[in-house]
Structure formats: structure tokens, C-alpha cells
Structure 1
Amino acid sequence: MQATFDRLLAQGEQSLPGALTAGQTVERDDIAALNAATGVLTAPDVRQVYAALLAASRRHLTALTRRAGR
């Protein structure tokens, strides 16, 4: 985990495109983890929180991708 953090931090510090790519990586990883966790959740309130987090990560990924394409 620390190695991944260090790699993404170094990538993001190099340039704006590097920062956008690092951000996209983080959001993709978050989306994958949230999707995996959602499959085993049973409490409706917890599922609702995870759904909101997933929606936010998708919006972030969309914004980062759009900005990277400029």
C-alpha cells in the first residue's frame, strides 16, 4: 500500500498530466473496491452510503478523464 501511495504521489508531483493520471488510477481502484464490497453488504443504510461513494468516484473519474483530454 505504501509503495502504491509513493508511486502515485511521485507521478502526481511531476506534472498536471501525471497528477490527472494518478487521480484516475485512484478513482478506478476505489470503484473496484466499492463494487467488490457492495456485493457482500446487507444493511440498507450501509449499501446506501456505498452507493453514494461509488457515484462520487464515478463523477471524479469522469471529471479527471475529461480534464486529461484537453
Structure 2
Amino acid sequence: MSAIYRAFQRTAHEQPVIFYSLVIGFAGPALVFGVPPIRKSMGWKPANRVPTTYPIPDRPRRAVAGFEDP
């Protein structure tokens, strides 16, 4: 186990870009399962969905007047 730790430590010092890229890459899937419960415990609620249709009024349609071409 200490050999693995020393290999990680050496890689972090000699090739930090590769090491930290791998750390962030492996942390991503863990965050997929860890973040939603944390957000929910902090009181986050999803936003209301944006309406995709316009509500049609419950009345007969009136003809438009006053916009004729001269």
C-alpha cells in the first residue's frame, strides 16, 4: 500500500497535470451520486418547468380591427 502511495506522490510531483487530471476524472462519477443528496438536504428544489404552450382563453375570439392598410 505504501508503494502505491509513493507512486502517486511521485507522479503528483513529476507530472502534476496528468495526476490531477486523473484525480478530477475519477471524482466526477462519485459526484454524480454524492451531490444530489447534499443539495436536497440543503433545501434545494428544482425550478418550475418553462411552459411550452400559451393558455387559450375560455371565450370566443374577436376579430382584430383597426390595423387595415390605407
TM over 0.5: same fold? no
| TM-score normalized with structure 1 length | 0.41
Report the structure, 1 or 2, having the larger helix content.
Answer: 1
| TM-score normalized with structure 2 length | 0.41
